[in-house]
Amino acid sequence: MRRHCYRYIAGIVICCAIIAVGCMERPVERIPVKVVSAGSLLYPLSKAEAKYEELHPDIDIQVEGHGSIQAIRQVTDLGRQFDMVAVADASLIPDLMYRPVDKTNKNYTDWYIPFGRNEMVIAYTEKSRYHDEITPENWFEVLSRPDVRVGISNPMLDAAGYRAMLVAMLAGEYYHDMTIFSRLMGDHFSPPLTIEDNDGIQTVRLPQVLKTTGSKITVRDGSIFLLSLLEAGGIDYTFEYRSVADAQGFQYVPLPGSINLKSDEYRDFYKKARVILGFPRFSQIGSERTGAPIIYAITIPSTAASVEETREFAEFFLGMSHMGDRGWPEPLNDSPAFPWSTEIGGASE
Amino acid sequence: MEAFIVIRILRAGLIMMMLFCLGTGCISQTPASPSPPVTVPADDYRNWTLTISDGTTRQVYSLAELRELPAVTGHGFAVSTVGIKYGPYLCKGILLTNLLERMGGISDGDQVWISAPDGYLWVFDYEQIQGKGFITFDENLKEIPPPPLRILLMYEMDGAPLSYNDGGPLRVAIISEEKGVITEGSSWVKWVDTIEIHRKSQ
């Protein structure tokens, strides 16, 4: 009887060991939700990713950052599979994604959800020359001083770059001083960038290769490089999205609503400035960039793999966005409407 | 006798439990929504060609013909607009300047437009064609003075033919003799198939 008991106990021990091995050594397969996003959304997405994965350990949110156009092109032109696209210019989604997927009759998407807005600000640090003098009223005077170095992203590559130019052009209209753009930027390129007036629309045409003269203006491919230079004291000020300056902990000067590209109220005024890029970097989209409010949006492409999981994450992300926080685009007034939870399932334009 | 029956029942239960545990431990889970494989063209470049033109002259090269031209190897390392690093790579291919020489060379004020079938276009000016005017970083993305740089049309990366996913069969690479020199990735055009020389005089 005792021998039988030993066998019984030994059996239980073996069984427990097998259970332990089964539970401990087997890698947990997580369902990936692949997000391709604008660079200025990487910080909010990293916050949402961390919280969501804590709540849903079976989901693996994978985020890849690009410029907004490149983010969309990953899906449409490069055939890569992403479950969610998040961009810093809502108009790009209908422009570039409302078209059929190759060899099918369904579009890449037929809807998008606008969820936030941003604004252009002037970021600086304690090392920036005249940082104790700069205000929302005199920023263009300070930035125009000969010994002040200003950074902008390459307008060919980064929406923040052409938006910086649009702000400087609109400042001329707003402050009734049409020399602001040339003093601040235009005169410091070779050849100089000049403003043409086309039927009341101020237009700057960029050359194919943007070359600066002297050290007044520094152009880099993306914000990340400008903020690094700003921190190191290589430049004094840079045009930046408010949410990015916030997320990175930089001080900034807010700009008047008429020129900061934030508000729907000034939509018509923003349209008075236009940048024509030196060449169409992407044949799928033209070279004209006209002033407009900066609106963020997401969509789930029809080519997505993990649709249900992505919808749940999208609702979570937009819910966090709607609450607003430091480093996030400012939430829009209306709560986001999810096309999958309505009967019509139509576009959210 | 009764105890013996109980033990036999327990033993049978144990065996079944062990089999169940083994089963659940060994069967791999599959994701609820498996990702279908990314569809890319096969790395078969027999019909691929590179066209180079300047408005009056036009040359067309197959990959085999390009591989017969003098090859150069150098270190390449790129960074995307959001700071993602790609590399370091050992890049092998043809110098862009060598290919341009076969078209009569270029002069100050000329531009070279390099494009790909995916719709991407990048423009280099004379200074850049000479390897100047690029921003360079160290591996920590701290800006450094640019060492001598050259523009390569790369067909081999790290000793293997350039795959489609890496921009094959032909991709622009900005190369250096030094390891760890990072350049901005915007000019690293993938899938290059067209080079246009825009002459200032035209």
- What was the pLDDT predicted at A230? 97
Q: Are B96 and B126 in contact (CB under 8 A)?
A: no
pLDDT score for B163: 93
CA distance A325 to chain B (A): 22
Predicted pLDDT at B30: 34
Residue spans per domain, chain A = 31-117+295-342, 120-290
Beta A201-205 vs A59-66: how paired, if at all? unpaired
Q: Calculate the CA dihedral of residues A334, A93, A321, A79 and round it to 10 degrees.
A: 150
- Position A335 scores a pLDDT of 75
Closest chain A residue by Cα to residue B37:
A81
3-state secondary structure of B4: helix
A26 to chain B, any CB pair closer than 8 A? The answer is yes
Write out pLDDT tens, residues B1-24: 555 555 565 565 555 555 444 444
Q: How many angstroms separate the CA of residue A122 from the nearest CA in chain B? A: 20
Residue B26 pLDDT > 50: no
| Cβ-based contacts of A12 with chain B (< 8 Å) | 14
DSSP state of B65: H
| Average pLDDT over chain B, rounded to an integer | 85
Q: Is B67 exposed, middle or buried (0-12, 13-18, 19+ CB in 10 A)?
A: middle
Given a cut of 50, whether residue B38 has pLDDT beyond it is no
Whose tokens are 């280099």? That residue is: B124
Chain A, 122-141: which have a CB under 8 Å from a chain B CB? none
> Which chain B residues are closer than 8 Å to A1 by Cβ?
3
CA distance B141 to chain A (A): 8
- What's the mean pLDDT in B181-201? 95
Closest-CA residue of A relative to B15 is A11
- Nearest-CB residue to A65 (from B36, B82, B118): B82
Q: Does the domain at residues A120-290 carry the CATH identifier 3.40.190.10?
A: yes
Q: Which residues in A lie closer than 8 A to residue B35 (C-beta atoms)?
A: 32, 34, 81, 305-306
**A80·B38 Cβ contact <8 A:** yes
**Predicted local distance difference test score (pLDDT) of residue A12:** 62
Q: Is the pLDDT of residue B147 over 90?
A: yes
Chain A residues 250-279 with a CB less than 8 Å from chain B: 278-279
Domains A31-117+295-342 and A120-290 share a fold: yes
Give percent of chain B above pLDDT 90. Answer: 74
Whether residue B87 contacts residue B78, with contact meaning beta carbons closer than 8 Å, is answered with yes
Residue of B nearest to A66 (CA): B82
Tens place of pLDDT per residue across chain A (349 aa): 555 556 666 666 665 555 555 555 556 789 999 999 999 999 999 999 999 999 999 999 999 999 898 899 999 988 999 999 999 999 999 999 999 998 889 999 999 999 999 999 999 999 999 999 999 999 999 999 999 999 999 998 889 999 999 999 999 999 999 999 999 999 999 999 999 998 889 999 999 999 999 999 999 999 999 999 999 999 999 999 999 999 999 999 999 999 999 999 999 999 999 999 988 887 777 889 999 999 999 999 999 999 999 999 999 999 999 999 999 999 998 877 888 876 434 444 3
Secondary structure of chain A in the HEC alphabet?
A: CHHHHHHHHHHHHHHHHHHHHHHHCCCCCCEEEEEEEEHHHHHHHHHHHHHHHHHCCCEEEEEEEECHHHHHHHHHCCCCCCCEEEECCCCHHHHHHCCECCCCCCECCCCCEEEEEECEEEEECCCCCCCCCCCCCCHHHHHHCCCCCEEEECCCCCHHHHHHHHHHHHHHHHHCCCCHHHHHCHHHECCCCCEEEECCEEEEECCCCCCECCCCEEEECCHHHHHHHHHHCCCCEEEEEHHHHHHCCCEEEECCCCCCCCCHHHHHHHCCEEEECCCCCECCCCCEEECCCEEEEEECCCCCCCHHHHHHHHHHHHHHHHHCCCCCCEECCCCCCCHHHCCCCCCCC
- Which stretches of chain B are DSSP H helices? 2-26, 63-68, 96-101, 126-129
Among B3, B24, B119, beta carbon nearest to A77: B119
Inter-chain contact B7–A70, Cβ cutoff 8 Å? no
C-beta atoms of B82 and A66 within 8 A: yes
Taking an 8 Å cut-off on Cβ atoms, the answer to whether A282 and B120 are in contact is: yes
Lowest mean pLDDT among A331-340, B96-105, B112-121: A331-340
Nearest-CA residue of chain A relative to B122? A281
Given CB atoms, is A56 within the 8 Å cutoff of chain B?
A: no
Whole-angstrom Cα distance, residue A207 to residue A193? 8
Q: How many other C-beta atoms can be found within 10 angstroms of the C-beta atom of residue B166?
A: 16
Q: What is the pTM of this model?
A: 0.83
**Which CATH code for domain A31-117+295-342?**
3.40.190.10
Q: How far is A178 from chain B (nearest CA, A)?
A: 31
Cis peptide before B169 (omega within 30 of 0): yes
pLDDT at residue A103, rounded to an integer: 85
Q: Is the ipTM of this complex over 0.90?
A: no
Interface touch B3/A79, C-beta < 8 Å: no
Residue B35's pLDDT band, with cuts at 50, 70 and 90, is: very low
